[in-house]
């Protein structure tokens, strides 16, 4: 396809920024959705002159998401790829000390936001001609195994895995390929604390290795490059020596 149109949520920083830059380098036009316009502008400036579209919006707000997709449809006309990436967390907190506010904040973005953006993209891909597209949901190593004190994040990321599989089944009729990338210890602002030391399964504190977030962007672009007849259902990309495989 001569023109390929992508949307990256959480596009103002971290994994979203890395994915947007990699997609732009691979020839995609990229829409960037996030809460802070100035951060989206910074990402657009890193996209090497590729066509970009800024969509300041809050993924947890249905009306905000609806407005962003209306603008996207008006400007791009179609959507070939959604990297459903926006996410948040709260500081590591023992389960018994969590507040309802903390729980609801994480669920609103990581699960409700994932649904709202995925749902809007799915409907757009179903209705466009030619029909179809690809959706890549951002899971996490936490979609497989938790860290201590991470109940809201872990619960939402486990839920994303179920959402991915359900969307995948429902999308097959419309050539909508849905997959998930599970990322471990990419070097972003959210992960900086890992280099300083984070709780392990026994609550001891240890520093953990990180990997270059640009490698995650490359992985997303690789998943996006396959024809719709081929799908990467799950990809795990992680710092090689992080504690995950086996018992550490």
- Quote the CA–CA distance of 168 and 130 in Å, as a whole number: 19
Strand ranges for 62-204 from DSSP E: 81-84, 133-138, 176-184, 198-199
Tell whether the torsion through CA atoms of 14, 18, 23 and 25 is positive or negative: positive
Query: Helix-strand-coil percent breakdown of the chain, rounded to 5?
Result: 45, 20, 35
Spell out the alpha helix ranges (H) of 172-237: 192-196, 213-225
What six digits make up the tokens of 192?
């900086």
Q: Alpha-carbon distance 127 to 111, whole Å?
A: 24
How far apart CA 198 and CA 155 sit, in angstroms, is 19
Per the annotation, the verdict on 153 as an active-site residue is yes
| H or E, element range at 64 | helix 62-76
Which among 24, 153, 167, 183 is annotated as catalytic?
153
Residue 161 CA to residue 156 CA, distance in Å, equals 9
* H/E run at residue 29: strand 29-34
List the catalytic residues.
Answer: 153
């Amino acid at each position: 396809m001569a023109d390929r149109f992508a949307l990256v949520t959480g596009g103002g920083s971290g994994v979203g920024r890395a994915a947007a830059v990699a997609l732009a380098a691979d020839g995609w036009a990229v829409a960037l959705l996030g809460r802070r316009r100035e951060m989206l502008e910074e990402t657009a400036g890193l996209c090497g002159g590729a066509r970009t579209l800024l969509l300041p919006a809050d993924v947890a707000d249905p009306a905000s998401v609806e407005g962003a997709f209306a603008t996207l449809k008006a400007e791009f006309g179609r959507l070939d790829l959604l990297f459903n990436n926006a996410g948040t967390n709260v500081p590591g907190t023992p389960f018994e000390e969590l507040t309802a506010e903390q729980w609801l904040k994480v669920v609103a973005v990581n699960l409700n936001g994932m649904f709202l953006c995925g749902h809007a993209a799915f409907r757009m891909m179903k209705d466009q001609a030619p029909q179809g597209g690809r959706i890549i949901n951002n899971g996490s190593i936490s979609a497989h195994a938790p860290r201590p004190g991470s109940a809201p994040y872990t619960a939402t990321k486990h839920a994303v895995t179920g959402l991915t599989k359900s969307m995948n089944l429902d999308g097959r009729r419309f050539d909508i390929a849905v997959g998930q990338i599970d990322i471990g210890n990419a070097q972003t602002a959210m992960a900086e604390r890992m280099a300083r030391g984070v709780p392990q399964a026994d609550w001891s504190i240890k520093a953990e290795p990180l990997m270059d977030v640009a490698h995650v962007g490359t992985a997303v672009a690789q998943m996006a490059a396959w024809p719709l007849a081929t799908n990467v259902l799950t990809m795990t990309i992680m710092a090689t020596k992080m504690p995950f495989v086996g018992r550490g």
